[in-house]
Amino acid sequence: MTAPDVHRAIEAVWRIESAKVIAGLTRLTGDVGTAEDLAQDALVAALDRWPESGVPDNPGAWLMATAKHRAIDVLRRGKLLERKHVELGHELEARQESPEGELAAALDDHVGDDLLSLMFTTCHPVLSTEARTALTLRLLGGLTTDEIARAFLVPKATIAQRIVRAKRTLAAARVPFEVPRGADLAARLSSVLEVIYLIFNEGYAATAGDDWMRPALCEDALRLGRILAELVPHEPEVHGLVALMSLQTSRAGARVGPSGEPILLLDQDRSRWDHLLIRRGLAALERAVAPGGGYGPYALQAAIAACHARAATPEETDWTRIVALYDGLVQLLPSPVVNLNRAVALGMAFGPAAGLEVVDTLTSEPALEGYHLLPAVRGDLLDKLGRFAEARREFARAASLTRNARERTLLLERAAACGHRSATGEQ
């Protein structure tokens, strides 16, 4: 294996295994910053040794063992040893036994619990949304600071500062490394789901930049969602989110044309949808709404995506059911954005005039001021009603508001088409 091959293998192993190593080290040291430093030491050791010795048969275990030894060295040398002695109890001290065996075992036990605790730690409400997202991608996604910065189109220094401040905030707030219990679990779990879905959405429909999608972010979010579903299999909304992300990701190959241009849902070649992901998404949805589960916000959105997934052609889409699902979602999440999406479904189910009537009630919503999809939806409905001059203005306004270059081009093309139809009197 060549040196470049080894380095690619190390990157792949790190992406998969780093979260487990950091989680175990965090439980041991009580500090995510120290844990990541120790895990990074193990990575540096791999980069140094593997090009000569080759990639071990079990590279994840090698990283864990190396990190474990370094953790024990740190605990021997520093004040952490004193704290660990207290935790291990006076009986251990009295026997003058070394804590190394206890510490080594601590990293091997309850890996699942540690991963779950790390998720709740990186997504703790004491952190800002931006900090939660960056820290989650760093510690659980295995992304470098540079990769996170590129994904969100912000300077590398900004992401580095967010991560450093997040670690300091967690330490200063003495956030416990644990899975919340009882009434706290639901609230904290919603924060974890929010962060994972935020990561997914930035990959599925990039808010800025030259790309319509960033598939790597979708993959990271979906992987985190699946891990979470394995760790808390009895939480319906976790399965609802996995279902939603799976069903939406199934369209990824058909959402972008040969030159990277966006292809809207009704224009997509459905034979290019990933039917394995669709099956997985539908199976996750069944788990989410199984007896005792019911339809939470993510499950409702997944059910809407399932209506599209089950339709072989756009004409077969059950828009009436989609409207009913949006009615339920509005009850759970009464937001202007949900109402805007409901208006689109109304327009498809009962005609563009029905959709436009709802959209026009949203034009004065402060939350939608500057939101480019409001004029985009209004333009689409006006276009279908033959009000081309008005539609052109709406599409042009939407183009001026979006920060995504691909989306701007699409909207300007639609504005130009409406302008042409208006000038020629086309019906």
Complete DSSP assignment for 66-120: HHHHHHHHHHHHSHHHHHHHHHH-HHHHHTT--THHHHHHHHHS-HHHHHHHHHH
First CA to last CA across the chain, in angstroms?
Answer: 64
Does residue 90 form part of some domain?
Answer: yes
Number of domains in the chain: 2
Please say which residue of 109, 130, 145 terminates a domain: 109
Mean pLDDT of the 250-276 span:
94
98 vs 52, more confident? 52
pLDDT, tens digit (0-9, with 9 covering 90-100), for 373-402: 999 999 999 999 999 999 999 999 999 999
Q: Which residues contact 140 (CB under 8 A, 6 or more apart)?
A: 19, 115, 118, 119, 122, 224
pLDDT of 316: 97
Mean pLDDT of the 215-225 span:
92
pLDDT of 37: 92
The pTM score is 0.85
Does residue 281 form part of some domain?
Answer: no
- The answer, yes or no, to whether residue 272 has pLDDT greater than 50, is yes
**Residue 141 pLDDT grade (very low, low, confident, very high; cuts 50, 70, 90):** confident
pLDDT, tens digit (0-9, with 9 covering 90-100), for 47-87: 899 988 888 888 888 998 898 888 888 777 765 556 655 66
pLDDT of 167: 95
Looking at 4-8, 97-101, 127-131, 268-272, which range is the least confident one?
97-101
Q: Using a pLDDT cut of 90, give the percent of the chain over it.
A: 64
Question: Are 236 and 289 in contact, with CB atoms under 8 Å apart?
Answer: yes
- The answer, yes or no, to whether residue 93 has pLDDT greater than 50, is no
Strand blocks (E) in 233-310 = none
3-state secondary structure of 209: strand
- The answer, yes or no, to whether residue 426 has pLDDT greater than 90, is no
Does residue 267 form part of some domain?
Answer: no
pLDDT of 342: 97
pLDDT, tens digit (0-9, with 9 covering 90-100), for 276-308: 999 999 999 999 998 877 799 999 999 999 999
Does residue 104 form part of some domain?
Answer: yes
Mean pLDDT of the chain: 89
φ/ψ of 240, rounded to 5, equals -60, -45
95 vs 226, more confident? 226
Mean pLDDT of the 233-248 span:
96
* Domain extent at residue 427: 370-427
Residue among 61, 62, 41 nearest 50 (CA): 62
Mean pLDDT of the 108-136 span:
87
Does residue 9 form part of some domain?
Answer: yes
Mean pLDDT of the 347-364 span:
97
Does residue 300 form part of some domain?
Answer: no
Residue 382 CA to residue 334 CA, distance in Å, equals 25
Per-residue three-class SS string for 329-375: HHHHCCCHHHHHHHHHHHHHHHCHHHHHHHHHCCCCCHHHCCCCHHH
Residue 326 CA to residue 338 CA, distance in Å, equals 7
Count the neighbouring beta carbons within 10 Å of the beta carbon of residue 52.
8
- The answer, yes or no, to whether residue 92 has pLDDT greater than 50, is no
Report how far apart, in Å, the C-alpha atoms of 274 and of each of 76, 249, 278 are.
Answer: 52, 8, 6
Please say which residue of 65, 90, 109 terminates a domain: 109
Does residue 145 form part of some domain?
Answer: no
Q: Using a pLDDT cut of 70, give the percent of the chain over it.
A: 92
